[in-house]
Copies of this chain bind each other. A is one copy, B any other.
Amino acid sequence: MTEASSQQVLTRSIEDYLKAIYELEQDGSPAQTSAIAGALDVAAPSVSGMVKRLSEAGLLQHVPYRGVQLTKEGKHAALRMVRRHRIVETYLTTKLGYDWDSVHEEAERLEHAVSDELIERMAMALGNPRYDPHGAPIPAKDGSIETAEYISLADLPVGEVAELRMVSDKDPERLRFIASLGLRPGVSFEVLGRQPFRGPTTIGLSGLPGKEQVIGYELAESLLCLAVEKEVG
């Protein structure tokens, strides 16, 4: 009965852990205990304990001193939470007038409380959106998720024309600042210049001649973009 598979008797805490681990794994390497502790703002020993439980439940694999990796089952549960979070964020923004900088906190609580049915009704009411307000892809009901290779603005070559595709939803202040620059997912621009030594990048917003913005290195790192194809034919 303490075995894997079976029912979803996931506590709120477990849901948080799975989501955090999933997001940490996106960097390619296994999620380390200390990283998980940092993401969830709990002490490292608490993570060790929970990792043991989740490992015994078959939701992840744990290689001591190396890190953890979600199993297929764990990943599925994590993606279910990611879907919930992003659907809720999109719904609150689209239907209830929330700003994109204030939805994260609300979604963080609601994702644990809503039923699968409510999520699907929200998704339906939104026309099954593919991206949340921050440009993050929304996993499908079956757990599939779009994987795209975005380049941070800090890495885009000067001269390139690109489109902002995705930003992190975690920091409301940063989101407000990004919005104040006229940037949001879908906006395209040209990289006009960049100072060396991790200096700021200058961009020109498309369709707004003379509308230039200077963006510091750290912020530029967090703006994920896609180079725009040149006009074809």
Write the residues of chain A forming the contact surface with B, with a CB cutoff of 8 angstroms. 92, 95-98, 105-106, 109-110, 112-115, 117-118, 121-122, 125
Contact = CB atoms under 8 A, between A and B. Distances in A.
6 contacts: A95-B125, A96-B122, A97-B121, A109-B114, A109-B115, A113-B113
A114 B110 contact: yes
Most buried by B among A95, A113, A118, A122: A113
Contacts of A115: 105-106, 109
A110 B117 CA distance: 13
Given A95-B95, A96-B122, A98-B121, 5 more contacts: A96-B118, A96-B121, A106-B114, A106-B115, A106-B117
Contact of A125 (B96, B114, B117): B96
Contacts of A121: 96-98
A97 B115 CA distance: 14
Closest 8 CB pairs of A and B: A113-B113, A96-B121, A109-B113, A110-B113, A106-B115, A106-B118, A96-B125, A97-B121
A112 B113 CA distance: 8
A105 B106 CA distance: 20
A92 B118 contact: yes
Contacts of A96: 118, 121-122, 125
A107 B109 CA distance: 14
A109 B112 CA distance: 9
A200 B92 CA distance: 47
Nearest to A98: B121
A109 B115 CA distance: 9
Nearest to A118: B106
Contacts of A106: 114-115, 117-118
A109 B98 CA distance: 22
A115 B92 CA distance: 12
Contacts of A92: 118
A197 to B, nearest CB: 43
Contacts of A114: 106, 109-110
A112 B105 CA distance: 14
